Chain A
């Protein structure tokens, strides 16, 4: 709220009413232009690029790469709307990615537990692990009033150590062996679409969504109405764990392996998820758009390299980060829920 009022109003108007629309129009426009150029000059770089962008392999890898970003981003919306900034999304993705692969390998590909096949068991176990870790984060933040940013960092760092640690204990190395089977890209795409639609409905069309927004914007009012702010915030944080769990499991099981070296196979996707929901202005649809955009850029970059174009991939990966800095600079912090990061105590 520190921008001069006029400019704040202008930006708010721009982003609230037209933001998603301009994002959609802009994206469609770029695609149309590219398609046209590709058709007119099939032998040029534009032709190659259009061939890549409109190929099925790009679409499928975009779906795979977008799943962890969009799902963790949706989770981040729920946590932050409720008033708890969760920058531990990266850690939640890491822990679910590892646990899903571990559980699937314990059951054994081709086997089943009570009729549930190994990959599905892995999926559920990953979600459970991530939800559990987010519950720890919630207790620390809500019950013990920890600084949310520091606690979120701790969640990331704990997962960053714990997943390779457990992998070494169980498999003798930070990378797990490959399961030898993986879930198809279609599952990722369906999960992303279902979760986005569900989140949008939950946030905008239910009483829970209203309570969630109130807990983040004006907890006192919510308290006055007789709704427990703590409970709503717990629900918000647990949902972030649940959704990130789906994302992390989808990421690892679409590859069939957990890679724990360096920054693990998650490689900052949890932070990109934060970027995605800020970029999408806390709107699930916007988050889907931003997540798909970042994932698409990554997918195109991979294909470009396969075609022999020397685009340094690290430079392409930098684009989302630069974009978010630009967006943050333009809109400032006016979009963040008023009470996010603050502790609330019931007045009795």
Chain B
């Protein structure tokens, strides 16, 4: 920051410091929970209104006392969403609260955990960059590149290694490393452009998402497409080199070992960010670049490192997606990177918080399938909820105001954080 305008530097500083110093962990938690509840309430309204508009022969739900009928039952939607995502542990309409026949090792819960696992990696990817004061919207692209690197490297090496568990483990390790390198290199591009050419990483990462998707698509279409495949996809990697379901039903595509690796990454990253000197550099240059530079931190290099690490995590996410979910690289890639942004924001960009946030989103995505099976409500409802949650988490000031009006003051929502007139508290990124 060689900005001559001291006034402006001060305000930028306050803006960057705000989210990490003023907002306590407790406050973040309250805001996240409040945002989720508010989104669910709004979703309730949306289901009601659209249930009034949609046409059906018999009303699924009738408003008490008024007799006005609705085509969709909003209560049922949420029961199916949350209960269904876990495989119906709670008995509905039957005597008894718990479903006696329920086991945690069911298909629906497996699908939910599968989504959770993938979101852990993309959530961590976004969170690491955020801690360094960088907004990585490019996790999606890094995942695409990483996943392709994984699939191609395993397909290339598989014939050279013995088929079987030993060869499988070696291939999985090499493939995941290739994914990390691929995603890391792809993430290093916006990092280097930001550090040395001052190109806004928000724009470059969005652009690189499109570039990654398009180039990978053409590469697979023209060069690496599996013979006779009707979709744009590579060959399947050998089954012994995939992360296979264990305990859970095979069709859930959920490997417990992948979730454990994800949890291990969370711990490792938490330790790295909070307890290592490199992690300290990363945090300080995120919070106050000028001070970090003064303290001997190479801010430019830290920017590149942070984006590379972030990209590598996105790449590992791509590797897990290939090895666990699909078994091959497939052109129709789910929006895991964008969901990772939501997960990270909901987690307050804290690696530990990524676990519950990823699990919540796993439930939402797993539950969306159940909504599709069991109700007439369009599954896109869950996508709307995702957007609403982001919107509400982005406006903590709204909840602070509600807190103040409700007379909670600093009690419920933490200290009212407004250090000075120009700072305004929020806006962790986007220094112009």
Contact = CB atoms under 8 A, between A and B. Distances in A.
Interface residues of B, number: 65
Contacts of B409: none
Contacts of A332: 197-199
Nearest to A322: B211
Nearest to A316: B214
Interface string A153-194: 111111111101110111000100000000000000000000
Interface string B44-60: 00100010011000000
A325 B193 contact: yes
A324 B204 CA distance: 8
Interface string B185-204: 00000000100011110111
Interface string B331-363: 000000010011001000000000000000000
A117 B397 CA distance: 44
B20 to A, nearest CB: 13
B432 A338 contact: yes
Contact of B217 (A156, A278, A314, A340): A314
Given A154-B391, A165-B381, A314 B199 contact: no
B161 interface: no
A77 B388 CA distance: 26
Contacts of A170: 53-54
B383 interface: yes
A169 B378 contact: yes
Contacts of B208: 321, 325
Interface string B1-31: 1110000100110010000000000000000
Contact of B380 (A1, A2, A164, A274): A164
Contacts of B338: 153, 157
Given A2-B198, A342-B432, A328 B193 contact: yes
Interface in A102-147: 140, 144-147
Given A146-B394, A321-B210, A338-B8, A85 B383 contact: no
B422 A345 contact: yes
A164 B384 CA distance: 10
Interface in B376-411: 378, 380-388, 390-391, 393-395, 397-398, 401
A231 interface: no
A145 B431 CA distance: 15
A110 B385 CA distance: 37
A181 B365 CA distance: 37
A158 B387 contact: yes
A157 B199 contact: no
Contacts of A341: 427, 429-432
B425 interface: yes
Contact of A161 (B15, B210, B381, B393): B381
Contacts of A161: 380-387
Contacts of A85: 430
B173 interface: no
A313 B346 CA distance: 37
A148 to B, nearest CB: 6
Interface in B217-235: 217-218, 221-222
A345 B422 CA distance: 6
Contact of A165 (B50, B210, B394, B395): B50
B207 A324 contact: yes
Contacts of A9: none
A334 B338 CA distance: 28
A165 B378 contact: yes
Contact of A321 (B46, B211, B394): B211
B1 A2 contact: yes
B430 A149 contact: yes
Contacts of A342: 11-12, 15, 424, 427, 432
B206 interface: yes
Contacts of B198: 2-3, 332-334
Nearest to A151: B394
B268 interface: no
B210 A318 contact: yes
Contacts of B426: 145-147, 343
Contacts of B397: 144-146
B254 interface: no
A203 B217 CA distance: 41
Contacts of B430: 85, 147-149, 340-341
A15 interface: no
Nearest to A87: B202
Contact of A168 (B3, B135, B380, B390): B380
A275 interface: yes
The 9 closest A-B pairs by CB, nearest first: A161-B383, A158-B387, A332-B198, A157-B387, A341-B430, A168-B378, A154-B391, A343-B424, A165-B380
18 contacts: A140-B398, A144-B401, A146-B395, A147-B429, A149-B202, A154-B387, A157-B390, A161-B383, A274-B203, A275-B203, A278-B203, A312-B218, A318-B215, A321-B208, A328-B193, A332-B197, A342-B427, A345-B422
Interface of A: 1-3, 85, 87, 140, 144-151, 153-162, 164-166, 168-170, 174, 268, 271, 274-275, 278, 312, 314-315, 317-318, 321-322, 324-325, 328-330, 332-334, 336-345, 347
